């Protein structure tokens, strides 16, 4: 009798306790990159690029707030228009933030709004320059963010289309000044406005992603195939220098969604 009562109490607690829902996505992207950095060259450089994107979103069934964390790594091999100079561009971006959600249209449409903190580190290396061949990239941004996810049926399969976009509000970035060498900055310690406050005017950015989830299993811990597009258009005009890095990627990967129940005894 006591054993039956204990089992019933545990099942009742499990049925009423909130669940923590975790969605993990891992994707690889292929596409093109367009880079301009007037510290290294006045030319535009274009070429193929590769990206890796990992996303983790956590939320509780009894709370409208969710936590999102993204790791994005990019590498590109690019050349100028006459194909005489080449550059290598690489960057790592970390995004962390909070999103508030609304469920609409009988839970078929989910809207989210909030903000992300973006920390980015990277480098652009010009293989032809003997003096100042590389340019470091580093910035920290606060980015308002919104998402929309819509569930629909196609050929008796439940699909999810999701769109995410982020825009910069304010931040700081590292930049040498016009005509200033890295030797002056790091060896001689000559600071010349190298840590620059930025806004959406001096350093505009538009990052957006469109994906479609196709189910691969029907189990509660669902596994889906995710395909989509990721575009990130970063610009900056500080210290009399201009820079932009435009990346376009076709994505493919998998997404796993599972729940954790905290049972109170």
pLDDT in tens, the chain (265 residues): 444 444 444 444 444 567 889 999 999 999 999 999 999 999 999 999 999 999 999 998 889 999 999 999 999 999 999 999 999 999 999 999 999 999 999 999 999 999 999 999 999 999 988 778 999 999 999 999 999 999 999 888 889 999 999 999 999 999 999 989 898 888 888 888 999 999 999 999 999 999 999 988 766 458 899 999 999 999 999 999 999 999 999 999 999 988 886 544 4
| Cβ 32 vs Cβ 46: under 8 Å | yes
User: What predicted TM-score, i.e. pTM, was given to this entire model?
Assistant: 0.88
- Look at residues 103, 44, 51 and name the one whose alpha carbon lies nearest to residue 75: 51
């Amino acid at each position: 009798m006591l054993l039956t009562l204990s089992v019933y109490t545990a099942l009742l607690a499990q049925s009423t306790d909130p669940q923590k829902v975790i969605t993990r996505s891992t994707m690889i992207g292929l596409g093109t990159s367009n880079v301009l950095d007037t510290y290294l060259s006045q030319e535009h450089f274009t070429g193929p690029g590769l990206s890796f994107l990992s996303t983790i979103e956590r939320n509780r069934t009894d709370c409208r707030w969710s936590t999102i964390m993204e790791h994005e790594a990019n590498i590109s091999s690019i050349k100028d228009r006459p194909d005489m100079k080449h550059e290598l561009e690489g960057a790592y971006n970390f995004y962390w933030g909070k999103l508030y959600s609304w469920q609409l249209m009988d839970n078929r449409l989910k809207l989210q709004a909030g903000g992300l903190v973006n920390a980015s580190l990277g480098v652009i290396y010009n293989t032809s320059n003997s003096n100042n061949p590389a340019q470091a990239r580093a910035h920290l941004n606060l980015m308002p963010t919104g998402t929309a996810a819509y569930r629909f049926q196609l050929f008796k399969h439940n699909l999810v289309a999701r769109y995410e976009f982020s825009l910069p509000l304010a931040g700081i970035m590292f930049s040498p000044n016009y005509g200033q060498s890295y030797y002056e900055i790091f060896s001689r310690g000559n600071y010349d406005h190298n840590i620059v406050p930025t806004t959406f005017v001096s350093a505009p950015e538009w990052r957006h992603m469109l994906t479609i989830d196709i189910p691969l299993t029907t189990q509660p811990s669902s596994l889906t195939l995710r395909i989509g597009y990721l575009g990130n258009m970063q610009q900056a005009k500080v210290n009399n220098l201009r820079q932009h890095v435009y990346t376009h990627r076709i994505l493919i990967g998998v997404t796993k969604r599972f729940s954790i129940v905290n049972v109170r005894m």
